[in-house]
Amino acid sequence: MSQNILEAPGWFQRAVSTPREDRIVPVAGCPIHYLRWGNPAKPGVLLVAGSGAHAHWWDFIAPYFTDHNCVAAIDLSGMGDSGHRPSYSSENFAQELISVCADAGFKNDTVIIGHSFGGFVTLKTGLVFGRQLTGVVLVDAPVRPPDYEWERDPKYSPIQPKKIYPDFETALARFRLVPAQSCENAFILDYIARHSLRQVAGGWSWKFDDRLFQDFKIGNMSEDLSNLVCRVGVIYGENSQLFSQAVVDYMFQVLDRSVPFAAIPEANHHLLLDQPLAFIAALRTLLAEWRHSKPQRGARPG
């Protein structure tokens, strides 16, 4: 265990020490790894990390929701400890999410929560499988107007060609957040980085597949957002470099006044790393409200 983890606050150490299961489910010929906390008889919550990230980004978040929920965190294909595919699509990712929900024992009272690219995948899953879900929460996952060329903007090419480092410590020192930002919680960065590496021929390298975005198309997210039939919530970093006020205004226009928008103060794009306890509090509040109210958006199936 690293010194950074040993010096982490008690809440963090207790969370990452909470018992969890490692599970694998095959989806379209690819092994998909996920973690599960809590009692499978409770309503499900599925957590989805961003591009190049992995399920362990949620180790210090998930245990705070097990009073009311069984919680799972997925490694999308091409990330973490899941298998790699020859090519990747939003349809495959959506199938991975819903397959993990089924394998984890989740039913139609499930909420999927996705950060950044994981939010786009969550949105696609809500569009295709929304009648099997209670709702989706988009965490600093900006949806822009349909004429915005996401694929062609170099700022949104988060996966760079991987390098091989001669030893673990050298590789660990190269860990960076994408998009780049500072983060005062060094103990969180250290924990995530240690779960991001694997030994390969010649040394150590990152777990993600650097071909992930080679042929990937994100599609018309604005249209997807407007066509959701399940509940939707939006949480974002108040200082996020991706989630400007213009993005907030646009998404609010596409949705309606029944959709909760929560800004986390003093947080950038990686808000669950910047302000984890504030993020937990905001998400707990949203889920509690959904447990005790009826949806105003669309019609829920009987």
Q: Is residue 42 part of a domain?
A: yes
Res 5: pLDDT: 62
Segment among 28-37, 219-228, 238-247, 291-300 with least mean pLDDT: 291-300
Q: Residue 16: pLDDT above 90?
A: yes
- Is 206 a domain residue? no
Q: What is the dihedral of CA 160, 165, 168, 174, to 10 degrees?
A: -40
Confidence of residue 301 (pLDDT cuts 50, 70, 90): very low
Q: Looking at the predicted structure, is the pLDDT value of residue 85 above 70?
A: yes
Percent of the chain predicted with pLDDT > 70: 92
As a whole number, the mean pLDDT across the chain is 92
Cβ–Cβ under 8 Å, residues 101 and 23: no
Residue 191: the pLDDT is: 97
Intra-chain end-to-end CA distance of the chain, in Å: 49
* 3-state SS class at 24: strand
Residue 244 lies in a domain: yes
Instruction: Give pLDDT, residue 34.
Output: 99
List phi, psi (to 5°) of 291: -65, -30
CA dihedral sign, ordered 235, 126, 253, 119: positive
167: alpha, beta or left? (left if phi > 0; alpha if psi -120 to 50):
beta
Q: Quote the domain boundaries for residue 97.
A: 11-143+220-289
Instruction: Quickly count: other Cβ atoms within 10 Å of residue 21's Cβ.
Output: 12
Q: What is the CATH number of the domain that holds 58?
A: 3.40.50.1820
pLDDT digit string, tens, across residues 95-142: 999 999 999 999 999 999 999 999 999 999 999 999 999 999 999 999
pLDDT at 2 over 90: no
Residue 166 lies in a domain: no
214, part of any domain: no
158 located within any domain: no
- Residues 129-185 have pLDDT tens digits of 999 999 999 999 999 887 665 544 444 456 788 999 999 999 999 999 999 999 999
Q: Is 22 part of a structural domain of the chain?
A: yes
pTM (2 decimals)?
0.94
pLDDT at 66 over 70: yes
Q: How many domains does the chain have?
A: 1
**Left (φ > 0), alpha (ψ -120 to 50) or beta: where does 162 sit?**
beta
What DSSP element (H or E) covers 33? strand 30-37
Whether a cis peptide bond, with omega within 30° of 0, leads into 179 is yes
Please determine, for residue 210, whether its predicted confidence score (pLDDT) is greater than 70: yes
At 154 the pLDDT is 42
Angle, CA of 102, 227 and 133, to the nearest 5°: 20
* Residue 125 lies inside a defined structural domain of this protein: yes
User: Could you tell me which of 113, 48, 27, 73 has the C-alpha nearest to residue 287?
Assistant: 113
Say whether pLDDT at 1 is over 60: no
